[in-house]
Copies of this chain bind each other. A is one copy, B any other.
Amino acid sequence: MQELSQQIAFILELDKLKAVYRKALIKADNNRYENSAEHSWHISLTAHVLAPYANDAVDISRVTLMLLIHDIVEIDAGDTFAFDHHSVLGEQADKERAAADRIFGLLPLSQREKFISLWHEFELAETPDAQFAKAMDRILPLIQNMQNEGGSWAQNKVLRHQVIKRNHYLESSAPKLWEYVLAQIDIATERGWLRGE
């Protein structure tokens, strides 16, 4: 039962991601902040639904597992806002690597490596699976903000060119979605939800 105790400890640790709040707003729940656990659920299903737009052959099961675990490191490292300063985001990367070692390290050896290497693959964003997963992590907040008068963009005075840059993964990984995203960014700019400069 040694392995099972380790697995239960990991499962209990996951509960903490439900207490990590992001800048995204949940329109359906009185515009409260979204937590990273429910975000991870939403994005995993988003990937399933949008998989037909992937440009390269992607393994949707791997993409899903990648997205289910992509934010677990925030239990130790916290969430950073996508449009924070570079210095903040640099320190964050170190904290997240240490967090991955600690949290996935709760698992038995037989499972640990698989999760850690999948998390690193997502972070490096070099494989088609990881690039499509990253693309999903970019498009979902856009979809949410467009439904919510700019949502976290408007609240945080985000600039148009920042959103274009951030969604760039879509250009090669899902070109049809990239077209859609550019059109949405134009609408958001016209409506004043994104700032021009």
The residues of B that contact A41 with a CB separation of less than 8 Å are: 17, 37-38, 40-41, 44, 68
Number of copies: 2
The residues of B that contact A111 with a CB separation of less than 8 Å are: 49
Number of A interface residues at 8 Å Cβ cutoff, please give it: 48
User: Of A26-34, A78-86, A122-130, A160-168, which stretch is located at the interface?
Assistant: A26-34
B42 with A14: CB separation less than 8 A = yes
Top 10 closest A-B pairs, CB basis? Answer: A41-B41, A61-B61, A19-B29, A37-B38, A38-B38, A16-B28, A15-B28, A19-B28, A18-B38, A40-B41
Q: Which positions in A face B, CB cutoff 8 Å?
A: 1, 4, 7-8, 10-12, 14-19, 26-29, 34-35, 37-38, 40-42, 44-46, 48-50, 52-53, 60-61, 64-65, 68-69, 107, 110-111, 140, 143-144, 147, 176-177, 180
* Extra contacts besides A18-B28, A64-B68 (10): CB < 8 Å: A4-B177, A11-B50, A15-B147, A18-B38, A40-B41, A45-B69, A49-B107, A52-B110, A61-B64, A64-B65
